[in-house]
Amino acid sequence: MRADYDIDDYGGAPVVQLENVGVRYGMGPEVLRDLTFAIEANSFQFLTGPSGAGKTTLLRLILMSVRPTRGLISIFGEDVSDISKDNLTGLRRRMGVVFQDFRLLDHLTTYENVALPLRVQGKEEATYRAEVVELLRWVGLGDRMHVLPPVLSGGEKQRAAIARALIVRPDLLLADEPTGNVDPSLARRLLRLFIELNRLGTSVVIATHDFSLMDQLDVRRLVLGDGRLHIDE
């Protein structure tokens, strides 16, 4: 049974807009085709579909690490078809991303990995240390903040990657199977964290196979299959 969950619609330009987008690799067939949809400001949606349907490719399209073969994409109201490198960097800094392979830096501690986006922005540690520590404790890594990633379990790395994505309070969060390496109890706790971030104004896209996770929220589902997108409102 799904819980009721209301999404505020603040109007204005969508955070992400795709129009007739197609993607192919090399000379092969299109892996994604005729994608036309929008991600609104302050919205929450799940992205689902069978393995190999193109969920990760779609997330990479939004992140602009994959370019469309055809069609138009706008991010935060800006057409990205001919975007400059500096503007691209600026748009990406407004996103938080949780990758399936974590992408933690092995020479940095858990704390340093989570704080890294703030350091890159030039912020002084004194302005964010308490917030980083609090977030690490919330995701159950309070006693692991000073260890290096190679000694963390898969679930601990997953939580560190989620904390790193959330620490900047992004305008858009893209999460690729963010609960795939944690137990159901912790998955529910992490989902509450995503909900709270959404309530603070972040648009959230969670790619997942976990129907028990999706059934906890009555939100839009973007369903990929055979290269096409179906929207379940």
Q: What is the pLDDT of residue 3?
A: 35
Q: Which CATH number fits domain 10-94+172-233: 3.90.1170.50, 3.40.50.300, 3.40.190.10, 3.30.565.10?
A: 3.40.50.300
The reported pLDDT for the residue numbered 79 is 92
For the segment 63-114, what is each residue's pLDDT rounded down to a tens digit?
999 999 999 999 999 999 888 888 898 899 999 999 888 999 999 999 999 9
- Predicted pLDDT of residue 187: 86
How do residues 119-137 score in pLDDT, each as one tens digit?
998 999 999 999 999 999 9
61 in helix, strand or coil?
Answer: helix
What is the rounded average pLDDT for all residues in the chain? Answer: 90
Contact by Cβ (8 Å): 233, 41: no
User: Residue 22: what pLDDT?
Assistant: 96
Percentage above 70 pLDDT, the chain? 95
Q: Report H helices in the chain.
A: 55-63, 85-92, 110-120, 125-138, 154-166, 184-199, 211-214
Per-residue pLDDT at 164: 94
Q: Where in the chain is the domain with CATH 3.40.50.300?
A: 10-94+172-233
Considering only CA atoms, which of 98, 126, 127 is closest in space to residue 113?
98
Whether 80 and 63 have beta carbons less than 8 Å apart is answered as no
